[in-house]
Amino acid sequence: MAGRVVKRAFKYRFYPTAVQAEQLARTFGCTRYVYNRALAERSRAWSQEQRRVTYADTSKMLTGWKRDTETEWLAEPSKGPLQEALRQLQGAFEKFWRKQTRYPQFKKKGQSKDSATYYYRGGQIRLAKQAEPLDIRWSRPLPEGVTPSQVTVSRNARGQYHISILVEDTITELEPADRVVGLDAGITSLYTLSTGEKITNPRHERTDRERLAKAQRMLAKKQKGSRNRAKARLKVAKIHGRIADRRRDYLHKLSTRLVRENQVIAIEDLSVRNMVKNRSLSRAISDAGWSEFRSMLEYKADWYGRRVVAVDRFYPSSKTCSVCGEVAGAMPLNVREWACRCGVVHDRDVNAARNILAVGLAVAACGDGVRPPRT
């Protein structure tokens, strides 16, 4: 099969020395300052002068900030992370203009993720202005013959340091498969397949719910600004991190399996942002990770020559008979089985998955729309 050149990021844990940790802390602070100040300047220019500030303008501003006696400390870290912070802000504005995200927000110390992006210069992974190479735990090797283009160093809420190495890798597409599948997202079962298989929902958050609630109660009792509060916050962050790690690992394994086995995967185009407004289901929906799973499916399918088709969220997949096409009346969530006029008794989730597959194949074949007619 033909190979495709794609950009891939390989993430590893590393353990900095005391000197490296101090240098990274200063760099994180500088990049956060540059991002926030550039955002403030762009917002001020538009609100007061109706003038749009470009990336080139903010780059010139950065040069002036380095020469200013009050902010001359911006010249201490490498210029690469500071320039990258301005590029990230430009990207955030472009997404806002395309109505993909909300207006860019200021980064707050302790609440936003600390990160800095460097450009690779060859040799060992040694960051700019640091004499010693990083102590990286190589959990898996980099592909042979690749040259990193940039590296991103980050520190999460748990105090863990990671390095993400971006490379261009050649991926061989999988052999064409003769199987297709439709997926219906759920809570009791994480996903129901059109084949009738139901994927168990591990409910990672519920497993650690008692530990998390206890840690959050202890955090609430600590005095703000105290060392004990910082320790309690770290305990809460570690529990959240363990939950997120288990969820991500489970979704990676499931998405890889589905992409390897099926040529076409049909899913629902769910509006998770609106669904989590339901207070009764918001915790379970957030724990399911539907958006993260869809993202994994899409980029893995793109890598390996598969196709993911999203069916319109308004298509009545649950109450449409997958045998005769009859659309039933109102069907609350507590109805898990229903009988059609044609005499077929449907499992709600399996029927929905089969309808999603049928409509997804129609979309893949001719691009037909799936939104129901409005009355």
Q: Are residues 326 and 238 located together in one domain of the fold?
A: yes
Residue 183: the pLDDT is 95
Q: Which residues contact 113 (CB under 8 A, 6 or more apart)?
A: 154, 155, 156, 157
Question: Residue 338 has what pLDDT?
Answer: 84
What is the structure's pLDDT at 335?
Answer: 84
The catalytic position among 84, 114, 184, 298 is 184
Indicate if 283 and 136 belong to the same structural domain: no
Judgement on whether residues 70 and 207 belong to the same structural domain of the protein: no
Q: Which residue has the tokens 């049928």?
A: 358
Whole-number Å distance between alpha carbons of 271 and 244: 21
In a domain, 120, yes or no: yes
327 in a structural domain: yes
Burial class (CB in 10 A: 0-12, 13-18, 19+), 361: middle
Q: Are residues 132 and 25 located together in one domain of the fold?
A: yes
Residue 297 located in a structural domain: yes
375 in a structural domain: no
DSSP state of 174: P
Query: pTM of the predicted model, to two decimals?
Result: 0.84
Same domain for 188 and 153: no
Q: Are residues 292 and 272 in the same domain?
A: yes
Q: How far apart are CA 364 and CA 354, in angstroms?
A: 15
User: Is residue 17 a part of any domain in this protein?
Assistant: yes
Look at residue 374 and tell me if it is in a domain.
no
In this structure, the answer to whether residues 61 and 17 fall within a common structural domain is: yes
Burial class of residue 256 in the structure, from the number of CB atoms within 10 Å of its CB (0-12 exposed, 13-18 middle, 19+ buried): middle
**Does residue 84 carry a catalytic annotation?**
no
Same domain, 130 and 216: no
Number of H helices, E strands in the chain: 10, 12
The pLDDT, as a whole number, for residue 368 is: 52
Residue spans of the chain under pLDDT 70:
1-2, 121-124, 367-375
Where is the domain boundary, 118, 146, 172?
A: 172
| 294 shares a domain with 199 | yes
Predicted pLDDT at 240: 94
pLDDT, tens digit, for every residue of 65-104?
A: 999 999 999 998 888 899 999 999 999 999 999 988 899 9
Q: Which position among 84, 114, 287, 349 bears the catalytic label? A: 349
Residue 123: predicted pLDDT: 56
**126, 132 contact by CB (below 8 A):** yes
Q: Which of these three, 172, 199, 221, is where a domain ends?
A: 172
Which range marks the domain in which residue 333 is found? 180-366
> Do 125 and 204 have their domain in common?
no
- The catalytically annotated residue of 114, 268, 287, 298 is 268
Active site residue 184: yes
* Bridge-based pairing state of the strands 189-193 and 180-185: antiparallel
Amino acid at 230: A
* Angular region, 259: left φ>0, alpha ψ -120 to 50, beta rest: alpha
Q: What domain count does the chain have?
A: 2
- Residue at a domain's end among 128, 145, 172: 172
Q: Say whether both 111 and 198 belong to one domain.
A: no
Beta-carbon contacts of residue 27 (< 8 Å; ≥ 6 apart): 77, 78, 81, 116
188 in a structural domain? yes
Would residue 331 count as lying in a domain?
Answer: yes
Do 216 and 241 have their domain in common? yes
